[in-house]
Amino acid sequence: MRKMDKRKTDKILRLLEAEYPDAGCELEHLNVYELLVCVTLSAQTTDASVNRVSPALFAAYPDAHAMAQADPEDVAEIIKRIGMYKTKSKRIIDQAKMLVEKYDGNVPEDDEMLVQLPGVGRKTANVVMAEGFGHQRIAVDTHVFRVSNRIGLAEADNVEKTEEDLKKNIPGDMWSRAHHLLIFHGRYCCHARKPECERCPVADLCAYNKQ
């Protein structure tokens, strides 16, 4: 795609910032390991649902060493209120085993190492690098994919190309912040089926609204 005019991009981000000043990670966690697990559990499940089960999960298995020794049925029982809980219970245990075997139970601060972990794709790795380690990243979930392509910040048919487009259009020191702003806009205004264009703060700048 051709690069969006910088002034237009800046204005979109300023308007979204004004609309969602509290935008941020809504997964409750105390450390990078808990963040990794919570992001893994959040696939096709709301953050609120994960937050309801994670306190009991981490009380029982506070770190990768404990999780690596867990019985999948016991973990599944704790997280059974979220979608795909049986698959996810096995996934986070396998994830913990690899962390223990390769990294002494620590979460690696490296994109390529992260995506080798069970249950970790590019989106999860980006979230961990941004939220857990403070690096500038744009994690493209369903909200970011939908909103950025509707607005015109991206023009892509998959998440990888969407991430590339966003990196071209958004200043590098704003990547992590933009990620949260786009997520909040997708959750609370630019819905998948019925976007609320009449109250959208960036409607006048949006490619979708001009169709």
Q: What is the CATH number of the domain that holds 179?
A: 1.10.1670.10
Last residue of one domain, picked from the residues 99, 132, 165 = 132
Question: 132, 108 in Cβ contact below 8 A?
Answer: no
Give pLDDT tens digits for 200-209: 999 999 988 7
Give me the CATH number covering residue 96: 1.10.340.30
Q: What is the pLDDT of residue 207?
A: 86
Q: How confident is the model at residue 4 (pLDDT cuts 50, 70, 90)?
A: confident
Residue 79 lies in a domain: yes
Task: Please state, in angstroms and as integers, the Cα–Cα distance from residue 13 to each residue in 102, 153, 202, following that order.
Answer: 40, 10, 9
pLDDT for 112 equals 97
Set 47, 88, 97, 123: catalytic member: 123
Residue 1 within a domain? no
- What pTM value is reported for the model? 0.93
The catalytically annotated residue of 141, 157, 161, 204 is 141
64 with 34: CB under 8 angstroms? no
Residues 113 and 45 in one domain: yes
Look at residue 1 in the predicted model and tell me its pLDDT: 61
What pLDDT, on the 0 to 100 scale, is given for residue 149? Answer: 96
Query: Where is the domain boundary, 115, 132, 149?
Result: 132
Active site residue 11: no
pLDDT tens track for 131-142 = 999 999 999 999
Active site residue 141: yes
Q: Is there a contact between 99 and 106 (Cβ–Cβ < 8 Å)?
A: yes
Q: Left, alpha or beta for 44 (phi > 0: left; psi -120 to 50: alpha)?
A: left
Q: Is the same domain home to 141 and 89?
A: no
Pinpoint the alpha helices (H) of the chain.
Answer: 6-19, 32-41, 47-60, 64-68, 72-78, 85-103, 111-114, 122-127, 142-151, 159-169, 175-188
